[in-house]
C-alpha cells in the first residue's frame, strides 16, 4: 500500500454519468474531488443512450453541451410512436431552452463528461478498482483501491459517493444492495448500431409496438442509428448465443414500421443484450456515503430515463453537499448526513411515479383496448400527443396520461369499437383501476417517513 494517505473533500467510486455529474458540480465549486473508475475512460457500456430534451438540459447545466453537440449527433425535435397502424407524431416542450432529443454513443458521452470534470478541477483516475471502504466512528471515511499497476492506495474524505452502477461495490459494503422497492421487468433488451442512409428521417425519435414486441430507432452520432428491440422476457432464450443476430433481425421484421425505417440501412455492429432486468430503489444515503445513478435507483430502459436521472441527481447531490463540505469552519458531519438524506428523499419523490409507469410499460403484455384508444386519441388530438411526449420528457407526470375525461372518453370509444368485445373493455378498465389504486398504495408505503431507520423492504410484482 502507498505510504501516503491522500485527503479529499469527496471521493467518488464510478466516473460515468452520475459520478461525473457529481464530480463536476463539486469541482466547479472549488472542492477537492477524486473519482476512480475500474474501466478505461471512454470505454463502452450497455445503455439506451437517448437524451430527451430534459436530459440535454442537464448536459447543458454541467457545461458539456458544446462538446456533445460537436459529436455530430442530429437534433431530433420530433417524437413519434406507433401501435400496430395507429401512430402519432409531435414535438417536445422546451426545457431550459432545449426542445430536441439527442442520441450519443456512450464512448463519446462518457469521455466528454470525464473531460468536463477534469477541466473543472476534479482528479479522475481510470483502471482503479475499489477494494475496501475506510470506516471511522461508525461512518464511511474513505476508500481503498488498486490502480492499473496493482498498487494499493488509501484515500480519505468526509463523503464517499458510490456511483458504481447496478452491481455497486459501495452499496454492497454499506449493506444496502437489497432494494427497498423492486419490480422485475417483463422485457429483455437487445440493440445494435446501423449505418443510417435515411437522411430524411434523422430528425425523428421513433418507437413501434406490435403485440408484445417493442422496437425503437434513434439516429445517433457518426451517421449511425441505434435500434433497440425489447421482446417479452420469456422470449430471451431465442436470443441466446449465436441465435441473437437472427432473432434480433426477425424481431425487426415483426415490427413493420421499424423494418421500413431500417430499409436500406446497414447493420454495423453485433447485437448487445441486457436481460434479467429489475427496476429498484435502494437506500441511497447514510453516515458518510450516498448513491446516485444506477447504484441507488434503476428503471427498465423502455422509457430511457437512466441518463437523465443519473445526470440530474448526480448534479443535485453535488450541489446539496458542496456548501457543507466547503464551510469555512469545517465540515459538520451531521449536516452532511442531513443533506444527503434530504437529497435521497427528493429523488424518491421525484422518480417514484415514473418508476411505476416504466414498470407498466415494461410488463411485456399485449396492448389493451384502452391503450389502443389512447393511441387513437393521440393520433386525432395534437394536444394529447404533446402530453405523451411531455411525460417521456419529464415535463408532466404519468398521471397526466389518463385524467378522468380522457379515461371516460377512451372507455366510451372502446365500448363502441367492434374490434374490442365489451367484456375485454370492462376487464381492462377494472385492471387499470386496480393498478392505479395499487400504485397509490405503493407510493404511500414507500414515501412514508422512516425516522432515519432503514426503509422496509417492499416487493412489487407487475
CB atoms within 10 A of CB 314: 30
Dmax (CA) of the chain: 78
pLDDT of residue 1: 65
pLDDT of residue 3: 66
pLDDT of residue 456: 34
Residues 412, 416, 420, 422, CA torsion sign = positive
**β-bridge pairing 160-162 and 289-290:** parallel
Round to whole Å and give the CA distance between 304 and 398: 14
Which stretches of the chain score pLDDT less than 50?
451-462
Give the three cell numbers for residue 129.
478498482
Say yes or no: do domains 6-49+106-183+279-359 and 187-274 share a fold.
no
pLDDT of residue 450: 54
pTM confidence score = 0.94
pLDDT of residue 454: 39
Give the three cell numbers for residue 244.
441473437
pLDDT of residue 457: 32
pLDDT of residue 448: 81
Give the three cell numbers for residue 359.
414498470
CB atoms within 10 A of CB 167: 10
State the DSSP code for 187: B
pLDDT of residue 138: 95
The topology (CATH level 3) of 6-49+106-183+279-359 is: FAD/NAD(P)-binding domain (3.50.50)
pLDDT in tens, 17-46: 999 999 999 999 999 999 999 999 989 998
pLDDT of residue 411: 86
Round to whole Å and give the CA distance between 11 and 15: 11
- Say if CB 185 and CB 34 are below 8 A apart: no
Q: Where are the domains of the chain?
A: 6-49+106-183+279-359, 187-274, 367-459
pLDDT in tens, 157-167: 999 999 999 99
In the chain, the N- to C-terminal Cα span, in Å, equals 48
Round to whole Å and give the CA distance between 275 and 230: 10
Select the CATH number that applies to the domain covering 187-274 from these four: 3.30.70.20, 3.10.450.50, 3.40.30.10, 3.30.9.100: 3.30.9.100
Q: Bridge partners of 134?
A: 142
Q: What stretches of 294-368 show up as alpha helix (H) in DSSP?
A: 306-325, 333-361
pLDDT of residue 410: 84
pLDDT of residue 271: 96
Amino acid at each position: 500500500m502507498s505510504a501516503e494517505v491522500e485527503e479529499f473533500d469527496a471521493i467518488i467510486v464510478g466516473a460515468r454519468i452520475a459520478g461525473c455529474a457529481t464530480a463536476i458540480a463539486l469541482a466547479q465549486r472549488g472542492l477537492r474531488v477524486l473519482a476512480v473508475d475500474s474501466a478505461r475512460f471512454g470505454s463502452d457500456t450497455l445503455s439506451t443512450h437517448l437524451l430527451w430534451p430534459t436530459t440535454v438540459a442537464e448536459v447543458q447545466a454541467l457545461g458539456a453541451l458544446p462538446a456533445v453537440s460537436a459529436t455530430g449527433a442530429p437534433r431530433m425535435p420530433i417524437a413519434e410512436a406507433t401501435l400496430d397502424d395507429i401512430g402519432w407524431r409531435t414535438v417536445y416542450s422546451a426545457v431550459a431552452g432545449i426542445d430536441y432529443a439527442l442520441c450519443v454513443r456512450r464512448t463519446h458521452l462518457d469521455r466528454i463528461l470525464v473531460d468536463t470534470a477534469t477541466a473543472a478541477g476534479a482528479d479522475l483516475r481510470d483502471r482503479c478498482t475499489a477494494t475496501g471502504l475506510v470506516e471511522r466512528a461508525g461512518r464511511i471515511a474513505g476508500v481503498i483501491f488498486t490502480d492499473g499497476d496493482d498498487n494499493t492506495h488509501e484515500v480519505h474524505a468526509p463523503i464517499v459517493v458510490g456511483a458504481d452502477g447496478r452491481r455497486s461495490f459501495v452499496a454492497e459494503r454499506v449493506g444496502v444492495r437489497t432494494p427497498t422497492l423492486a419490480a422485475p421487468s417483463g422485457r429483455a433488451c437487445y440493440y445494435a448500431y446501423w449505418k443510417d442512409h435515411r437522411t430524411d428521417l434523422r430528425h425523428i425519435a421513433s418507437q413501434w409496438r406490435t403485440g408484445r414486441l417493442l422496437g425503437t430507432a434513434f439516429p445517433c452520432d457518426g451517421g449511425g442509428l441505434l435500434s433497440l428491440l425489447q421482446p417479452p422476457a420469456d422470449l430471451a432464450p431465442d436470443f441466446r448465443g449465436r441465435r441473437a443476430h437472427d432473432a434480433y433481425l426477425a424481431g425487426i421484421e415483426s415490427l413493420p414500421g421499424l423494418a421500413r425505417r431500417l430499409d436500406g440501412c446497414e447493420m454495423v455492429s453485433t447485437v448487445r443484450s441486457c436481460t434479467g432486468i429489475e427496476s429498484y430503489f435502494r437506500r441511497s444515503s447514510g453516515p458518510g456515503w450516498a448513491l446516485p445513478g444506477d447504484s441507488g435507483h434503476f428503471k427498465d430502459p423502455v422509457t430511457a430515463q437512466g441518463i437523465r436521472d443519473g445526470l440530474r441527481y448526480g448534479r443535485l447531490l453535488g450541489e446539496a453537499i458542496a456548501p457543507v463540505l466547503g464551510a469555512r469552519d469545517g465540515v459538520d458531519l451531521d449536516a452532511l448526513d442531513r443533506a444527503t438524506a434530504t437529497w435521497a428523499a427528493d429523488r424518491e419523490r421525484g422518480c417514484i411515479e415514473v418508476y411505476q409507469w416504466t414498470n407498466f410499460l415494461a410488463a411485456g403484455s399485449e396492448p389493451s383496448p384502452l391503450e389502443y384508444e389512447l393511441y387513437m386519441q393521440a393520433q386525432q388530438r395534437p394536444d394529447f400527443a404533446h402530453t405523451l411526449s411531455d411525460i417521456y420528457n419529464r415535463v408532466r407526470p404519468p398521471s397526466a396520461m389518463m385524467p378522468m375525461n380522457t379515461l371516460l372518453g377512451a372507455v366510451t370509444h372502446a365500448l363502441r369499437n367492434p374490434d374490442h368485445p365489451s367484456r375485454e373493455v370492462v376487464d381492462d378498465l377494472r385492471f387499470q383501476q386496480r393498478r392505479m389504486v395499487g400504485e397509490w398504495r405503493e407510493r404511500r408505503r414507500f414515501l412514508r417517513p422512516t425516522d432515519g431507520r432503514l426503509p422496509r423492504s417492499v416487493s412489487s410484482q407487475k
